Structure formats: C-alpha cells, structure tokens
With several copies, the nearest count.
Chain A
Amino acid sequence: MERSQQKQIVEALIVAAGEPVSAARLAEIVPALDASDVAGLVAEITRDYEDQGRALEIWEVAGGYQLRTHASVAPYLRLLHRERALRLSRAALETIAIVAYRQPITRAEVEHVRGVEAGPVLKSLVDRKLVRIAGHREVPGRPLVYATTKRFLEVFGLGKLDDLPTLREVEELLPPPDAAAQVTPLELESAEVGESAPSPSELH
C-alpha cells in the first residue's frame, strides 16, 4: 500500500476515533504499516497541517494519537462550547493532583492531605470522569478508593501517569521549574511553529 494511502487511513482513523489511538492499534489496522513507522507518518500529517495553515494538530496523549484543534483558535471554540468549558477550581486541581500521585487513595487520605472535606470535590471529579472509583481498600470499613482515569491524561495532555511533573522532595527548598514535562503536541520542534506554538503559560 502506498504511503499516501496509509496516511489517508491513519488520519481518518485518528479523526474518527476521538479517543487516543495507539501506534500498535494503527499498525494493526493499516495494511503494511509497521508500528515503528507510525510516529513518522503522524508527524508528516501534522507537518501537512502546518504547511496548509490549518488549525489542527495531532497530539500524543493517554497512550495514543489524538487530533486536536490548535490553541490559537481556542477563543472561537470556547464560544462554540461555551457551556462545556472545562473549568477546574483550585480545590478540584489540588484534589486531582493528590489522587494522581497517591492512587489508589481513600477519601479520608485526601482529606488528611488537604485538611478539608473531600467528598463533594471527589464527587464532581467522578462526574466529570477525571477520577474513578477503583474499588475498596481491604481495611475495616472497606472504604472506596479513587484513581485517575484515561480522561484525566487526555485533559492534561499527558502520555501516561509517569509524565506527571515530578513531585518535589520534601527536603528540597525550591521547586524545579518542570513545566516542560508536559507532552507537547507532535508539532515536532515547537521552534518551527513560531508564535502559534501552544505555550501553557499564555493560555488563560
């Protein structure tokens, strides 16, 4: 099968899947495509988007590839999705960070770290599919334990849990400026993109 045709199918698969599609899965479906070649093919598609001046990018998140709109058009998309904009309060962000690093974790443990009630926040995170119930802890009372979801990785653009920023060691006095740990879109070297490169700090 010709490369152009493979590209066509890979793009269609990523577009239609919505959810991240892994390289292995793509290689399985697309004839004569090797898993090791998927990244290169996807990079070509992303470069095409750039050359054609389209506001689309393919990201590698949650263990797969996903088509996303470019941050530069976010203001228009927010108008479209006005009621859906994903806003997270400080309480929600702190709670999700604790769950992410300490999973599986009980509500009482979250409460101990934050020093405040965690029930309502956990509930809302479960509602939004950022956190899930992962079972019970086998201790008296069998409390529920919580863990993060694939959607959590997707929302924060993480490839896998290990891509979370490093949690500062208690002994360290200064946090390492480690925002670069976030997986960037497969825009390749963001230097090529210039002003349109998504830069977390600018986006509010």
Chain B
Amino acid sequence: MLESGTPLAVGSVAGPTCAIKLSLFEGPLDLLLHLIRENEMDVTELPVAQIAGQYIEYLNLMEELQLDVAAEYLVMAATLAWIKSRMLLPPSENDDDEEGLDPRAELIARLLEYERFKEVSEQLGEYTREGRDVFKARVPESASTPEGERELEVSLMTLLDAFRRVLARVPTGPGLHEVEGELVTVYERMLAIMDAIGAEGGSLEFEQLFASDPEARLSRPLVVATFLALLELVRVAALRVYQGLREDGAPEGPIRLRRTEEGAEEWRRRIADDPRVHGVKSQEGV
C-alpha cells in the first residue's frame, strides 16, 4: 500500500511531452487530481484521453522503480480506458439506460467528492492539535480518594479486546451454566499468575499467561478467572500492565505484566488483605 510521505525525487521521465513530478500519492483519485492540476485543467473538464495517457505513464514509472502498484491503481487504469473508449463512440441509441450520460460523470463526481475531503483534511491537519501543539493537564486522582473507590481508566472496548482475544482461542466447550465440574477461583489464579511471573524473572507477556497452561486445561472458566485475577492483581498493585506505544501514540505490541518491586511478601500481604479475595476463600470450602 502506498503511504503518503516525502516526495520521491524523480524529475522527469522519457518522452518529450511528459514531465511527471512524482510523489507518493494517496491513491488513484489523488494521482488523477494531481495530473489534472498539472495540466491546469478543471476537474469538471476531465480531459480523459490526455490524462489516461499520463496516468499509464505514471504506473509504468512506478513499476520501473519497482514500487508496488496497488490494485486500486490498475482498476482506475481500466476505468479510464473504458471511459476513453466510450467517448470515442458516437452517441448510440442502443444504450438505452445510459443515453445522454457523459461517461465521465461518475468519475468526475468522485474526484470532486474526494477533493473536498482532501482539502478539509488539510485544514484539519493545521489545526492546533492536542498532543502535538498543546498538551492537556493530566493529574492523577487526588490521593484522598480511597483505593477502593479509585477507578480504572480504561474503556470497555480495551478490556474486552484483550479478554475476548484469549477467549477466542478457547474451544467452545461447556458454557457458563455447565461448569460445575471445574471450580476455578480468582484467588488461585492470582497466585498462579504471580508464580508464573516469578518464574520468568518478574515480567511476562499477557498471552503467555494462557499459553503456559497445559493445552487441555485451557477452558473458558479458567481463562475468565485468569483474566479477572489479572485485574485484581493490578488493583492491589502487585503488578502493573504495560503495552508499547508506537511513535504516534497508539498502543502497539504485546501487553506485558510486570511485578512491582516490593517483593513476594508484600504482594502476598496485599492479596491476603484484598477483601474480594476473602470472598473467594470462603467459597473454597463449598
């Protein structure tokens, strides 16, 4: 796929009539707009014969440069060729449904439509941008908020993404309603996670939590309990969850779990102090 970027420094190509200034385009429509502008034409005039020729030259040039020509460019080349052929034909009465229609009409409409958005996106690009030009205040919730009331800043989607990705790998076995045989508690899974992290030297990938289990035992209840245990461990600050950030700020790469530095005794105490764990413990006797 072509990405926008710095212009590729190609001055001209062979042929006396065409000097194509080549930059990387956003797609066939972008390229067409560029060619129309180069010819100092108006979009509504769309000189198909002329433009189609230059368009093909451009594609050939891209191929010469061994750039990948995305399929969309080839489709557009075919469209241009079709329009060109239609325009050469005298208006025919056989074409009932398209009688009187300029064969270029649809393409012109698309070009105009694309051009509008291109313009407005350029305007948006120059807007003062939070995260680039100005930066919002980011203050942690006041220390006066009790730990239990503190809320996690994460969207439902974020959480479900991770959770459901794991669930997807689990064969659809017995549903929630039929899991009597297997009682997995969040508490057990909390300890198991901390053990797994310990075995890996203090840091582990989210996915490894599920990969490390003997294949047959990876049931839905187990996955659910493990996930909830993970959240619980984050809550009691026994571990933290990280993910890489790409240059542009988007999260990327594996989600990593890292043990906090207080050591085993401290997190065991925290887990033990977690009121929700007591609820789990009392269930163990059942």
Contacts and interface: CB of A to CB of B under 8 A. Distances in A.
B179 interface: yes
A165 B137 contact: no
Tell me what chain A mostly uses at the interface: helix, strand, loop, or mixed: mixed
A94 B28 CA distance: 14
A182 B129 CA distance: 11
B3 interface: yes
Contact of B155 (A86, A113, A177, A186): A86
A167 interface: yes
A71 interface: yes
B17 interface: no
Interface in B155-185: 155-161, 163-165, 167-168, 176-177, 179, 184-185
B127 A157 contact: yes
A105 B110 CA distance: 17
A184 B176 CA distance: 36
B241 A189 contact: yes
B59 interface: no
B47 interface: no
Contacts of A115: 27-30, 72, 76, 110, 114, 184-187, 225, 228, 279-280, 283
A87 B116 CA distance: 22
A97 B9 CA distance: 29
Among A17, A69, A173, A203, the one with the most B-chain Cβ atoms within 10 Å of its Cβ is A69
Nearest to A199: B128
Nearest to B258: A183
A177 B207 contact: yes
A46 interface: no
Given A86-B130, A155-B131, A193 B252 contact: no
A188 B155 contact: no
Q: Interface residues of B: mostly helix, strand, loop or mixed?
A: mixed
Contact of B26 (A91, A168, A190, A198): A91
A107 B244 CA distance: 27
Nearest to A123: B250
Given A87-B247, A115-B27, A74 B116 contact: no
Contacts of B153: 87, 187
A86 B28 contact: no
A93 interface: yes
Contact of A170 (B116, B128, B150, B262): B116
B1 interface: yes
A72 B159 CA distance: 34
B242 A185 contact: yes
Contacts of A191: 140-141, 147, 150, 237
* Residue from B128, B235, B279 with most neighbouring chain A CB atoms (10 Å): B128
Contact of B143 (A81, A187, A198): A198
B16 to A, nearest CB: 30
B228 A94 contact: yes
Given A68-B142, A115-B280, A84 B240 contact: no
A171 B115 CA distance: 12
A170 B167 CA distance: 12
A16 B139 contact: yes
A151 B253 CA distance: 22
Which 10 A-B residue pairings sit nearest by Cβ, starting from the closest?
Answer: A181-B244, A181-B253, A18-B138, A86-B131, A116-B27, A90-B4, A115-B186, A16-B135, A97-B121, A115-B29
28 contacts: A61-B130, A66-B137, A68-B135, A68-B142, A71-B128, A77-B145, A78-B145, A83-B249, A89-B152, A90-B4, A93-B122, A94-B117, A97-B117, A97-B120, A97-B163, A98-B117, A156-B127, A156-B156, A157-B129, A165-B123, A165-B157, A167-B167, A167-B168, A170-B157, A173-B42, A178-B123, A179-B126, A181-B245
Interface of B: 1-4, 26-30, 42, 70, 72, 76, 109-110, 112-114, 116-145, 147, 149-161, 163-165, 167-168, 176-177, 179, 184-187, 207, 221, 224-225, 228, 231, 234-235, 237, 240-256, 260-262, 276, 279-280, 283
